Amino acid sequence: MTAASDMMGGRSATTAPAAIELRGISKAFGPVQANRNINLNVPKGTIHGIIGENGAGKSTLMSILYGFYKPDSGQVLVNGQPISIADSQTAIRAGIGMVFQHFKLVQNFTVLENIILGVEDGALLRPSLSKARGVLKQLAAEYQLNVDPDEVIENLSVGHQQRVEILKALYRQADILILDEPTGVLTPAEADHLFRILEGLRDEGKTIILITHKLREIMDITDDVSVMRRGEMVASVKTSETSPEHLAELMVGRKVLLNVEKTPAAPAAPAAPVLEVRNLTMTDDEGVQRLRGIDLDIRAGEILGIAGVSGNGQTMLLEILGGYPPKGSKVAGEIRMNGQPLPIGGRGCDAAQRRRAGIGHIPEDRQVEGLIMDFAAWENVAFGYQDAPEFTKGMLMDNAAIKADAEAKMERFDVRPRNANLAARNFSGGNQQKIVVAREIERNPDLLLIGQPTRGVDIGAIEFIHKRIIELRDAGKAILLVSVELDEILALSDRITVMFDGRIMGERLPENTTTGELGLLMAGVTDTAHTPDDAGIPPESAHVETLPQEPA
Amino acid sequence: MKLKDSLIALIVLAICLIWAFVDGNAASQGIGSAMRLMTPLLLACLAGLYSERAGVFDIGLEGKMLMAAFSAASVAYLTGSAWLGLLAGIGGSLALSLVHGLASITFRGNQLIAGVAINFLASGLTVLVGQNAFGLGGRTPALTGAGRFQPINLPFAETLRDVPVIGPIYSGLISGNTILVYVALLMVPVTWWVLFRTRFGLRLRAVGENPASVDTAGVSVTRLRYAAVAICGILCGIAGAYLATGLSAGFVKEMTAGRGFIALAALIFAKWRPWQALFATFLFGLLEAIANLYPNLDLGIITIPSMFMNALPYILTVIILAGFVGRAVPPRAGGEPYVKER
């Protein structure tokens, strides 16, 4: 950005048409107004952030740009030309490329096959494949997008799969690249690498739209940022002229505490730990060892945070502690709760037994493990505790008591709408999570297992849930927190351990560590003292240029 | 190719060699018979392969073959032409394919239930129409002459007959089959080429694995799946026509006798690959031929009763479906109607 354009107060003074301009876009699904009169102006060659809570309408807006939905009213202009995007093919021809949050890759195809899919040059594959191979080589050299073109997608790391998605868009000659929550699945180092790629693309004149809910990313990389709230575009500002606090306020519509306020932990020091895990190993049904000797201690009155990229064994650890090891797996080791050994498999090892032992569990996937989506909220509030004396009358369930209890909990946790008869499915992500959190926290467990407490939860609810977790800790309970969000781990934990490939890579204190150091541990580098922070990118696949022209 | 991939081929080859060693003449006769019995299975198996590779599970293969057999036999009888019969067979099978496509692609219904419905429909409709038209209790009148596909004798079949090894193989196995047997065999490399060397094949496989990837690439999922289901209908039609006008001489009630399901088992056995499908269906054909040739197999100590021999293909089907052949991973999006997500 030059000083001159800054002085002119934005880019309206420049003559080049915007890469994308939206005028008065509206879209309703039945009674829900997903987008209302949206105006957006994305100048060429910039990185434009779009930020907003879940359900604010970001994804709908991008789906309109990519031809999945037709807007009810309004106009889309690409490079100054009005255009009607009826389907994805039109969007692709207009130079718009999309990298979805959930990759649209064929898992058992090679990188090359995925790249040419839909833009083959003729009825036969061979010429298209060899042309794509050449183009890929060129793109790799230009933008540091190295991927082995003959590798099968399912063998690639998530970061590399994302590169394939970007390459797909570039191969279709996209000038405008839309990325939907691109860093959700990446390690910090992988995310940094992605950002360098995006900056490289911008410097080549490409336009990038970045959809995210992470304020830090917006501040780090974007030139401009637009904020959406409840279907409306509430602000478009230059990133350099705003602050995270200001953006958060715009998103939620009120002031938000970004930093969790908490006092130092006061664990009951000399006493025995609440939970002891010794040499826990787990081998899954395919014979792959997924946990390789986990040792943990959690004392009363402290939060132990487990950081790591998803898929490194955290889920299995939570499931085993929660009493339901994955089907067909072999578990060995020792778990002691308040000094008493817990069964780790076979008879007597189930979630109910864990609850009786004083373990509460907020599972990672609320929609699958935490709730029954088609059951009413009041029923969901009783799940797992349906046998509790206050919920039963003789042989029967005391529905009136359960309902009253559910309504009280929904009141205390500010679940909206305050309607206990509504099916869990009809609540927003944040409110669904509050139902689960209310159920588990209000039972006052000695140990609370928490997996991804704020995944897909809006900022307002995050603040609330974090506060409740701290309160439980201050009441002298032990808490095990598993999260892929490093910011969350750093904000809540009293101690942090990092898991990688089924192992604990190390333990750090939040006040003595950095995201960079944790990122190295998350990538499997233990020697954090002698490695630069940006080295934590997983080993590269073979470089394109070192590969033979044709596969053997 | 890895050893594991060619396992079926090795088993089949071993059976053939042992048989030829034990009783050369019977083997030559039996293997020829196995090839003819394999043909409808192979065509149905490849039909299922196209459909399932595109993500549409089809347990209606049986019904489509039955419908094709009936329409082929009827038209061949009425016109006296096996070729018109073949066309009618393909037409009958295609009509059911269209029903399957409508139910499971356009209306996003359950593919398995649609398949079951097609099987019932074909089973009832063929007998009902047959009884009404010919009054033979659901059979069609026997076909003669040009109403059937006749064996084709390849050149030099007679002259080479007495040459050892090559003679019996060429004149007994390769020569003297009806044209549809050669069509079925030819379909194997053709299918492989279409699936793995053409744009259509790439998209077809992609739509069975992850339809969203095809959709976001701007290609119609619906059109691709309809194309696959239509190819499935044509191949089932040829299979059914061969049953009625090649293998037998006319239609008999329930004449497919579970071949559609055996073809499905072979498809799983073959892990949805064309060459493996050839060997898997040949294995089934071989078992059927052995059962026909040795009704009471005498192994010296015990005699295996004919009922058991006849049941062998079905027993093998159960074993395969129970998953005793290792992990067979079906196309990932198989069975799921595609709904565009937000």
Q: Which string of DSSP letters, residue by residue, matches B219-259?
A: --HHHHHHHHHHHHHHHHHHHHHHIIIIISSS--TTTTTTH
B2/A contact by beta carbon, under 8 A = no
Three-point CA angle A370, A521, A541, nearest 5°: 95
pLDDT-derived band at A258 (thresholds 50, 70, 90) equals low
Q: Which residues contact B252 (CB under 8 A, 6 or more apart)?
A: B138, B139
CB contact under 8 Å between B210 and A106, yes or no, is yes
What's the pTM value of the predicted model, to 2 decimals?
0.78
The shortest C-alpha distance from B187 to chain A (Å) reads 18
The residue assigned the tokens 């394939």 is: A164
Task: Give the pLDDT score at A348.
Answer: 79
The shortest C-alpha distance from A61 to chain B (Å) reads 11
Q: Per-residue pLDDT tens for A232-253?
A: 899 899 999 998 888 888 887 7
| Beta bridge partners of residue A341, listed in sequence order | A336
CB contact under 8 Å between B218 and A89, yes or no, is yes
The shortest C-alpha distance from B193 to chain A (Å) reads 10
CB contact under 8 Å between A68 and B219, yes or no, is no
DSSP labels, A103-170: ----TTSBHHHHHHTT--SSSBHHHHHHHHHHHHHHHHHHHT----TTSBGGGS-HHHHHHHHHHHHH
Would you say residue B327 lies in a domain? no
Most B-contacting residue of A64, A117, A124, A130 (CB-CB within 10 A), to test interface? A117
Three-point CA angle B201, A111, B276, nearest 5°: 45
Kindly state the tokens that stand for B148: 């059937």
Longest Cα–Cα distance in chain B: 70
Q: Which residues contact B180 (CB under 8 A, 6 or more apart)?
A: B39, B86, B149, B238, B241, B242, B246
Task: Give the pLDDT score at A544.
Answer: 42
Task: Give the pLDDT score at B242.
Answer: 96
CB contact under 8 Å between A88 and B210, yes or no, is no
Q: Per-residue pLDDT tens for B126-177?
A: 999 999 999 888 889 998 888 898 888 877 777 777 777 777 777 777 778 8
B243 closest CA partner among B126, B132, B128: B126
Task: Give the pLDDT score at A2.
Answer: 42
Average pLDDT score over chain A: 85
Backbone angles phi, psi at A345, to 5 degrees: 180, 170
CA distances from B120 to A68, B60, B113, B124 (A): 39, 9, 11, 6
Q: Is the pLDDT of residue A546 over 70?
A: no
Q: CA–CA separation, A236 vs A466, rounded Å?
A: 29
Residue B212 with chain A: CB contacts under 8 Å: 104
Q: Which 3 state secondary structure label does DSSP give A452?
A: coil
Report whether the peptide linkage leading into residue A510 is cis, meaning its omega lies within 30 degrees of zero. no
Question: What is the separation, in whole angstroms, between the first and last Cα of chain A?
Answer: 48
Q: CA–CA separation, A449 vs A440, rounded Å?
A: 9
CB contact under 8 Å between B205 and A109, yes or no, is yes
CA distances from B208 to B51, B240, B271, B338 (A): 9, 26, 14, 10
Task: Give the pLDDT score at B45.
Answer: 97
CB contact under 8 Å between B217 and A107, yes or no, is no
Residue A57 with chain B: CB contacts under 8 Å: none
The shortest C-alpha distance from B333 to chain A (Å) reads 10
The shortest C-alpha distance from B192 to chain A (Å) reads 13
**If you ran DSSP here, which 8-state letter would residue B302 be given?**
-
Q: Is the pLDDT of residue A548 over 60?
A: no
CB interface of B with A, residues 217-246, below 8 Å: 217-219
The shortest C-alpha distance from B93 to chain A (Å) reads 28
Handedness of CA A290, A296, A301, A305 (dihedral sign): negative
CB contact under 8 Å between A116 and B202, yes or no, is yes
A258 closest CA partner among A455, A488, A530: A488
Quick one: A339 exposed, middle or buried, by C-beta within 10 A (0-12, 13-18, 19+)?
exposed
Handedness of CA B11, B12, B17, B20 (dihedral sign): positive
Residue B217 with chain A: CB contacts under 8 Å: 88, 92, 104, 117-119
Among A338-342, A436-440, A506-510, B6-10, the minimum mean pLDDT is found in B6-10
Residue A88 with chain B: CB contacts under 8 Å: 215-218
CB contact under 8 Å between A117 and B212, yes or no, is no
Q: Which residues contact A25 (CB under 8 A, 6 or more apart)?
A: A35, A37, A38, A39, A40, A61, A64, A71, A73, A74, A75, A76
CA distances from A389 to A361, A380, A424 (A): 20, 17, 24
Average pLDDT score over chain B: 89
Would you say residue B28 lies in a domain? no
Q: Is the pLDDT of residue A551 over 60?
A: no
pLDDT-derived band at B22 (thresholds 50, 70, 90) equals confident
Q: Which 3 state secondary structure label does DSSP give B99?
A: helix
Burial per residue of A404-429, b for 16 or more beta-carbon CB atoms within 10 angstroms, e otherwise: ebbbebbeebebeeeebeeebeebbb
Listing from the earlier edge strand, what are the strands of the sheet with A330-337? A289-298, A275-283, A330-337, A340-341
- The interface predicted TM-score (ipTM) is 0.87
Q: Which 3 state secondary structure label does DSSP give A373?
A: coil
Three-point CA angle A511, A515, A521, nearest 5°: 105
Residue B340 with chain A: CB contacts under 8 Å: 68
Kindly state the tokens that stand for A484: 């892929």
Quick one: B79 exposed, middle or buried, by C-beta within 10 A (0-12, 13-18, 19+)?
middle
Residue A63 with chain B: CB contacts under 8 Å: 342
Q: CA–CA separation, A428 vs A54, rounded Å?
A: 8
Would you say residue B289 lies in a domain? no
Provide the residue type at A30 as one letter.
G
In chain B, how many domains are there? 1
pLDDT-derived band at A190 (thresholds 50, 70, 90) equals confident
Closest partner residue to B206 (CB to CB) among A117, A122, A125 is: A117
Q: Is the pLDDT of residue B207 over 90?
A: yes
Q: CA–CA separation, A415 vs A427, rounded Å?
A: 9
Q: CA–CA separation, A527 vs B247, rounded Å?
A: 73
Please state the rounded mean pLDDT for residues A66-95: 90
Please give the residue of chain B at the shortest CA–CA distance from A124: B198
A107/B contact by beta carbon, under 8 A = yes
Return the percent helix, strand and coil in chain B, to nearest 5.
Answer: 70, 0, 30
Higher pLDDT, B240 or A16: B240
For residues A144 and A170, the answer to whether their CB atoms sit within 8 Å is: no
Would you say residue B14 lies in a domain? no
A207 closest CA partner among A38, A27, A40, A2: A40
Q: CA–CA separation, A153 vs A149, rounded Å?
A: 10
Would you say residue B280 lies in a domain? no
CB contact under 8 Å between B218 and A100, yes or no, is no
Q: Per-residue pLDDT tens for A278-309?
A: 999 999 887 888 899 999 999 988 999 999 88
Q: CA–CA separation, B211 vs B222, rounded Å?
A: 10
A177/B contact by beta carbon, under 8 A = no
Residue B196 with chain A: CB contacts under 8 Å: 125
Q: CA–CA separation, B258 vs B266, rounded Å?
A: 12
A5/B contact by beta carbon, under 8 A = no
Please give the residue of chain B at the shortest CA–CA distance from A62: B342
Q: CA–CA separation, B30 vs B132, rounded Å?
A: 38
Task: Give the pLDDT score at A202.
Answer: 93
For residues B121 and B96, the answer to whether their CB atoms sit within 8 Å is: yes
CB contact under 8 Å between B213 and A106, yes or no, is yes
Return the percent helix, strand and coil in chain A, to nearest 5.
Answer: 35, 25, 40
Would you say residue B105 lies in a domain? yes
| Beta bridge partners of residue A29, listed in sequence order | A32
Chain center to CA of A528: 25
Q: Is the pLDDT of residue B91 over 60?
A: yes
pLDDT-derived band at B336 (thresholds 50, 70, 90) equals confident
Would you say residue B278 lies in a domain? no
Q: Which 3 state secondary structure label does DSSP give B338?
A: coil
For residues B295 and B306, the answer to whether their CB atoms sit within 8 Å is: yes
Burial per residue of A179-194, b for 16 or more beta-carbon CB atoms within 10 angstroms, e otherwise: bbbbbbbbbbbbbbbb
CB contact under 8 Å between B199 and A125, yes or no, is yes
For residues A494 and A328, the answer to whether their CB atoms sit within 8 Å is: no
Q: Which residues contact A51 (CB under 8 A, 6 or more apart)?
A: A58, A211, A212, A213, A215, A218, A225, A226, A227, A228, A247, A251
Q: CA–CA separation, A16 vs A80, rounded Å?
A: 9
The shortest C-alpha distance from A66 to chain B (Å) reads 9
Q: Which residues contact A527 (CB under 8 A, 6 or more apart)?
A: none
Q: Is the pLDDT of residue B3 over 50?
A: yes
Q: Per-residue pLDDT tens for A97-146?
A: 999 888 899 999 999 999 999 999 989 999 999 999 999 999 888 888 88
Q: B209 is in which domain, residue-wise?
A: 38-267
Q: Per-residue pLDDT tens for A479-518?
A: 999 998 888 898 899 999 999 888 999 899 988 888 888 8
B58 closest CA partner among B97, B7, B109, B108: B97
Closest partner residue to B213 (CB to CB) among A68, A87, A117 is: A117
A–B: how many Cβ contacts below 8 A? 73
DSSP labels, B161-204: TTSTTHHIIIIIIISSB-HHHHHHHHHHHHHHHHHHHBHHHHHH
If you count them, how many residues does chain B have? 342
Pairing of strands A224-229, A47-52: parallel
Would you say residue B126 lies in a domain? yes
Please state the rounded mean pLDDT for residues B270-290: 91
The shortest C-alpha distance from B13 to chain A (Å) reads 29
Q: CA–CA separation, A120 vs A129, rounded Å?
A: 8
| Beta bridge partners of residue A227, listed in sequence order | A51, A235
A120/B contact by beta carbon, under 8 A = yes
Task: Give me the domains of chain A, ranges plus CATH numbers.
Answer: 4-95+175-251 (3.40.50.300), 275-366+442-546 (3.40.50.300)
Quick one: B262 exposed, middle or buried, by C-beta within 10 A (0-12, 13-18, 19+)?
buried
Task: Give the pLDDT score at B195.
Answer: 96
